[in-house]
Amino acid sequence: MKPKPKRLRGVLLLTPVLVGLTVFFLFRLPAWRRFELITYDWRMKKTGPKPVSGNVVIVFIGDETLKLLGRWPLPRNWYASLTEVLKAWGARVVAYDILFLEESGDRVADRQFGEAVTRAGNVIHSCYFQGEIATRRGVLSGEHLLLPPEVLGQATAIGFVNTPPDDDGITRRYPFFANHQGRLIPSLGLAILKEYYQLPGSAIKMGNSHTLTVTVKGQPHLIPVDQTGSAWLTIYPDLKMFPHYAMVQVLQSYAAWSRGKKSSLSPEAFTDKIVLVAHTAAGTTDIGPVAGRERYLKVGLHASFLESFFHDDFIRPAGTSISLMAPVCGALAAAGAAAAFPPLVGFIFTCLLGCLFILVAGWLFSAFGLWIEMVPGTLSLFVTSLTTTLSQFVAERREKNKLRVLFQRYIAPPVLERLLTSGAEITLGGEKRVLTVLFADVRGFTPLAEKISPEKSVELLNEMFGILEEAIFSYGGTVDKFMGDAIMAIYGAPVEQEDHAQRAVFSAVKMVKDLKNRKPGLPLMVGVGLHTGPMVVGNIGTVRRMEYTAIGDAVNLASRIENLAAAGEILISEATYALVKDKVVCEPLGPVTVKGRQEPINLYRVCLEPGTQEGGAP
Give me the DSSP letters along 555-616: HHHHHHHHHHPPTT-EEEEHHHHHHHTTTS-EEEEEEE--TT-SS-EEEEEEP-STTS----
Per the domain annotation, does 208 fall within a domain? no
Torsion over CA: 91, 93, 99, 103 (sign): positive
Q: Note the pLDDT tens digit of each residue in 460-504.
A: 888 888 899 999 989 989 888 888 889 999 999 888 899 999 999
- Identify the weakest region by mean pLDDT among 142-156, 171-185, 272-286, 403-417: 403-417
Mean pLDDT, rounded, for 60-75:
80
According to the model, what pLDDT value does residue 441 have?
93
Strand 173-175 and strand 93-96: the pairing is unpaired
Considering only residues 394 and 523, tell me which one the structure prediction assigns the higher pLDDT: 394
According to the model, what pLDDT value does residue 232 have?
92
Contact 327, 376 (CB under 8 A): yes
Same domain, yes or no, for 150 and 261?
A: yes
Q: Which of 157, 214, 210 shows the shortest CA–CA distance to 184?
A: 157
End-to-end alpha carbon distance in the chain? 32
Strand 570-573 and strand 586-592: the pairing is unpaired
Same domain, yes or no, for 101 and 192?
A: yes
Same domain, yes or no, for 264 and 356?
A: no
Q: Note the pLDDT tens digit of each residue in 297-343.
A: 999 999 999 999 999 889 999 888 888 888 888 888 887 887 788 87
Contact 580, 572 (CB under 8 A): yes
According to the model, what pLDDT value does residue 461 have?
86
Same domain, yes or no, for 255 and 392?
A: no
Backbone angles phi, psi at 204, to 5 degrees: -120, 115
According to the model, what pLDDT value does residue 12 have?
55
> ∠ CA(299), CA(304), CA(310), 5° rounding?
135
DSSP H or E stretch at residue 180: strand 177-180
Q: Note the pLDDT tens digit of each residue in 569-597.
A: 999 999 999 999 999 999 999 899 888 78
Count of C-beta atoms within a 10 Å radius of residue 61: 24
Contacts of 204 (CB under 8 A, 6+ apart): 190, 194, 212, 213, 214, 215
Q: Which of 371, 212, 228, 355 shows the shortest CA–CA distance to 291?
A: 371
Per the domain annotation, does 377 fall within a domain? yes
Contact 442, 526 (CB under 8 A): yes
How many Å apart are CA 80 and CA 74, to the nearest integer?
A: 11
Q: Name the pLDDT band for 422 (thresholds 50, 70, 90).
A: low
Per the domain annotation, does 3 fall within a domain? no
Please give the tally of structural domains in the chain: 3
Q: Note the pLDDT tens digit of each residue in 498-533.
A: 999 999 999 999 999 998 887 555 568 899 999 999
Mean pLDDT, rounded, for 234-244:
90
Strand 123-136 and strand 93-96: the pairing is parallel
Q: Which of 277, 302, 285, 279 shows the shortest CA–CA distance to 120?
A: 277
Per the domain annotation, does 157 fall within a domain? yes
As a residue count, the chain comes to 618
Residue 452 sits in a domain whose CATH number is: 3.30.70.1230
- Asked whether the predicted pLDDT for residue 189 surpasses 50, the reply is yes
Per the domain annotation, does 209 fall within a domain? no
- Asked whether the predicted pLDDT for residue 611 surpasses 50, the reply is no
According to the model, what pLDDT value does residue 343 have?
76
Q: Which of 170, 188, 168, 193 shows the shortest CA–CA distance to 178?
A: 188
Show contacts of 101-104: CB within 8 Å, 24+ apart: 101/127, 101/128, 101/146, 101/147, 101/148, 101/149, 102/149, 103/149, 103/151, 104/73, 104/75, 104/76
DSSP H or E stretch at residue 340: helix 320-340
Strand 183-186 and strand 287-290: the pairing is unpaired
Same domain, yes or no, for 470 and 575?
A: yes
How many Å apart are CA 35 and CA 38, to the nearest integer?
A: 5
> Cα torsion at 42, 43, 45, 48 (round to 10°)?
170
According to the model, what pLDDT value does residue 421 have?
62
Rg (CA), the chain: 46
Same domain, yes or no, for 491 and 521?
A: yes
Count of C-beta atoms within a 10 Å radius of residue 74: 20
Same domain, yes or no, for 240 and 300?
A: yes
Question: Among the ranges 53-57, 282-286, 427-431, which has the highest mean pLDDT value?
Answer: 53-57
According to the model, what pLDDT value does residue 271 have?
95
How many Å apart are CA 116 and CA 119, to the nearest integer?
A: 5
Q: Name the pLDDT band for 610 (thresholds 50, 70, 90).
A: very low
Q: Where does 411-512 show beta strands of DSSP type E?
A: 431-443, 478-483, 486-491
Same domain, yes or no, for 274 and 355?
A: no
Amino acid at 165: P
DSSP states along 503-535:
HHHHHHHHHHHHHHHSPS-S--EEEEEEEEEEE
Q: Note the pLDDT tens digit of each residue in 330-350.
A: 888 887 887 788 877 888 888
Per the domain annotation, does 219 fall within a domain? no
Per the domain annotation, does 579 fall within a domain? yes
Contact 440, 468 (CB under 8 A): yes
Same domain, yes or no, for 161 and 131?
A: yes
Same domain, yes or no, for 79 and 106?
A: yes
Same domain, yes or no, for 122 and 264?
A: yes
- Asked whether the predicted pLDDT for residue 104 surpasses 90, the reply is no
Question: Among the ranges 391-405, 440-454, 566-580, 604-618, which has the highest mean pLDDT value?
Answer: 566-580
Per the domain annotation, does 368 fall within a domain? yes
According to the model, what pLDDT value does residue 157 have?
94
According to the model, what pLDDT value does residue 13 have?
65
Range of the domain at 95: 53-199+226-311
Cα–chain center distance at 157: 50
Same domain, yes or no, for 106 and 75?
A: yes
How many Å apart are CA 559 and CA 553, to the nearest integer?
A: 10
Across the chain, mean pLDDT equals: 85
According to the model, what pLDDT value does residue 327 have?
84
Backbone angles phi, psi at 589, to 5 degrees: -105, -10
Of 265, 293, 311, the residue at which a domain comes to its end is: 311
Q: What does the DSSP 8-state code read for residue 50? A: P
How many Å apart are CA 414 and CA 422, to the nearest integer?
A: 12
Strand partners, 144: 130
